[in-house]
Amino acid sequence: QTFQANEDATEVVLNKIHSPVLTRFVRIRPQTWHNGIALRLELYGCRITDSPCSNLLGMLSGLIPDSQISASSIRGYDWSPSMARLVSSRSGWFPRVPQAQPGEEWLQVDLGIPKNIKGVIIQGARGGDSVTTTESRSFVKKFKVAYSMNGKDWDFIQDPKTMQAKLFEGNIHYDIPEVRRFDPVPAQYIRVHPERWSPAGIGMRLEVLGCDWTDVKPTAETLVPTLKSEETTTPYPTDEGATECGDSCGDEEDFQLPANFNCNFDLPEDLCGWSHDLATGYTWSFQPTSTWIGNSEPNPETVPDVKNYLQLQSNGRREGQRARLISPTIYLPQSAVCMVFQYQAWGSNGVMLRVWREASQEHKALWVITEDQGEEWRQGRIILPSYDMEYRIVFEGFIRNGHSGELALDDIRLGTDIPLENCMATLFCVSSPGATLLPGTEPTVDTVSVQPIPAYWYYVIAAGGAVVVLVSVALALVLHYHRFRYAAKKSDHSITYKTSHYANGAPVAVEPTLTIKLEQDPSSRC
């Protein structure tokens, strides 16, 4: 692009670049001039780290050691994963096969500890002596990003429109970095999966953007179930030294949990701070129950005799039912928190319960089930990551047309007493419908890692079974043959006739035998 410049020696001309570019060097190339080339210059821009939660996490600076950078394959030592550092590396990472299958290769970074990840900077690979000039100008055009807390269970960054793994735009030049941002996710491991690349093949350098993950430490105090709709707030426990803004955080107000978010729906028609979405045509209804689960009887002065939970039920005769429950406004700009709830979903695979985050310009799915879960109550846990905008949580229940089933919700709360590392899985709930555990009597949940059976063991078991069957059949045939052979030898009144009249003097198959047995007739008087 050619920009319009000055028409005299004193005029100031401002030229804006519509699409921001990431760079360290800027060069001006004069195209036309008057009485020689002379100019004065200023640049307008900002640092990458000026955006919230956009710190460079260590690839460029070297804070991430080489041992924590790995890949699916490498072409050689000069193109190993340790060469995949943004800008500072003289080369880059090349996989073993230049033209691999989409999604087959990946570059992985272990951050050492969990972080809030908000983006990546991707760059192509540049020249070197180990490959040709054409191959040295390799870059990735499209890619996907996966993240994990343990390096084994992976999730992809999703596109909120399609609810599928998001396909990011990559580079258009082998040496120009590109920044790609997404909603913050808690992770310790990041993988970039190339999906499309330049004709020269895959070549990549990388940096990860994010900030410290403020861990929610367990406290001795347990949140008391909401029994009244009074407006109360609970201070959120934070670590003063672990926030991204550091010393500048002192001017901000202390973060507080949203008012009336925690609710067990015990009081009839009391949704605390939650509300129905009337646009769907159906609403969650209160279902009473008097069941109580606990080590002791509840105090009648503090707990009502009749408790309630929310229910969406269909007998299969009317059209499909859809109901939504919307939370109060939440604002978590620097901290993640665990949301805990109890649910029930049963029916003939015609039920769906999902949870999403709804902001002004976003609709992001967080959790979903689409099949029968049985009539037992279960506990769901979802990490609500930090987000720099206000948003609401939406629970949507749906029962398809012509299907009978039931969906139920109870005891939705923000579990500040639950560490985030224990908030990664859906757990069985020990309580009965509508029941709430007394404070301090919650079950202790330990995470148990179960290793799956290797696939080759299935082949070993199948082969062993086949051998047993063959041995059994062979043994049965041998016993059957010897039984008749020995029976013929023991009989004194049997005559065996054999013949050996064969062509060429040799039998071509089993030699035929005629055996005549003489038996006494008990009815004969002779």
CA distances from 466 to 105, 158, 462, 472 (A): 38, 46, 6, 10
Rg from Cα positions in the chain: 36
Q: Does an H or E element contain 474, and which?
A: helix 456-490
CA 71 to the chain's CA centroid: 20
Distance CA 186, CA 167 (A): 20
83 closest CA partner among 123, 120, 56: 123
> Is the domain of 334 the same as that of 411?
yes
Return the residue matching tokens 């509840």: 298
Domain-terminating residue out of 404, 428, 452:
428
State the pLDDT at residue 490. Answer: 55
| Cα-Cα-Cα-Cα dihedral sign, residues 357, 363, 366, 370 | positive
Range of the domain at 67: 49-212
What's the DSSP call for residue 412?
Answer: E
pLDDT digits (tens), the chain, 526 positions:
898 898 888 888 888 887 777 777 889 999 999 889 999 998 888 877 777 888 899 998 888 998 999 999 888 777 788 888 988 777 888 888 767 788 889 999 999 999 999 999 999 987 655 555 555 688 999 999 999 999 989 999 998 888 889 999 999 888 888 999 998 899 999 999 999 998 888 889 999 999 987 633 333 333 334 333 333 333 333 333 333 343 434 333 445 677 788 888 888 788 888 888 888 788 888 888 744 333 334 444 444 455 788 888 776 555 677 888 999 888 887 778 889 999 988 876 678 888 988 887 677 888 888 778 877 888 888 888 888 788 889 999 888 777 778 888 998 988 878 887 778 654 444 444 334 443 333 444 444 444 556 666 777 888 888 899 999 999 888 888 877 666 655 555 555 555 555 555 555 555 666 666 666 666 655 4
268 and 161 in a single domain? The answer is no
User: Do 68 and 177 share a domain, yes or no?
Assistant: yes
> And the tokens for 120?
């990546």
| CA quadruple 153, 158, 162, 163: dihedral sign | positive
Backbone angles phi, psi at 397, to 5 degrees: -110, 140
Task: Kindly state whether residues 285 and 407 are assigned to the same domain.
Answer: yes
Residue 374 and residue 311 share a domain: yes
Q: Where are the beta strands (DSSP E) in 166-261?
A: 168-169, 178-197, 205-212
Per the structure block, which two tokens stand in for 299?
């105090």
At residue 457, φ and ψ (nearest 5 deg) are -65, -30
Bridge-based pairing state of the strands 392-399 and 321-326: antiparallel
- 207 and 288 part of one domain: no
H/E segment holding residue 275: strand 275-276
Whether 148 maps to a domain, the answer reads yes
CB burial of residue 191 (10 Å; 0-12, 13-18, 19+): buried
Looking at the 3D structure of the chain, how many domains does it have? 2
Q: Could you give the CA distance from residue 144 to residue 141 in angstroms, rounded to a whole number?
A: 11
Owner of token pair 């999902």: 354
Cα–Cα distance list, 355 to 134, 327, 409 (Å) = 48, 11, 12
Q: How many CB atoms within 10 Å of residue 101?
A: 8
CATH (domain of 370): 2.60.120.200
In Å, how far are 154, 394, 480 from 425, measured between CA atoms? 13, 19, 59
The per-residue pLDDT for 220 is 35
Q: What is the pLDDT of residue 468?
A: 92
> Could you tell me if 103 and 175 lie in one domain?
yes
Q: Which of 379, 395, 428 is the last residue of a domain?
A: 428
Residue type (1 letter), 142: K
Last residue of a domain, one of 212, 242, 265: 212
Residue 292 has a pLDDT of 38
Q: What was the pLDDT predicted at 88? A: 77
Can you tell me the distance from the alpha carbon of 243 to that of 53, in angstroms, rounded to the nearest whole number? 10
Which residue matches tokens 């009144």? 493
Amino acid at site 226: T
So what's the pLDDT on residue 389?
A: 82
Distance CA 107, CA 75 (A): 13
- Residue 452: half-sphere exposure toward Cβ, Cα within 13 Å: 6
Q: What is the CATH number of the domain that holds 149?
A: 2.60.120.260
SS3 488: helix
Let me know whether 315 and 411 are in one domain.
yes
pLDDT of residue 504: 56
Q: Is 63 found in the same domain as 143?
A: yes
The DSSP symbol for 465 reads: H
What lies within 8 Å, CB to CB, of 444 at 6+ separation is none
Q: What is the SS3 string spanning 295-348?
A: CCCCCCCCCCCCEEEEEEEEECCCCCEEEEEECCCECCCCCCEEEEEEEEEEEC
Is residue 325 located within the same domain as residue 396?
A: yes
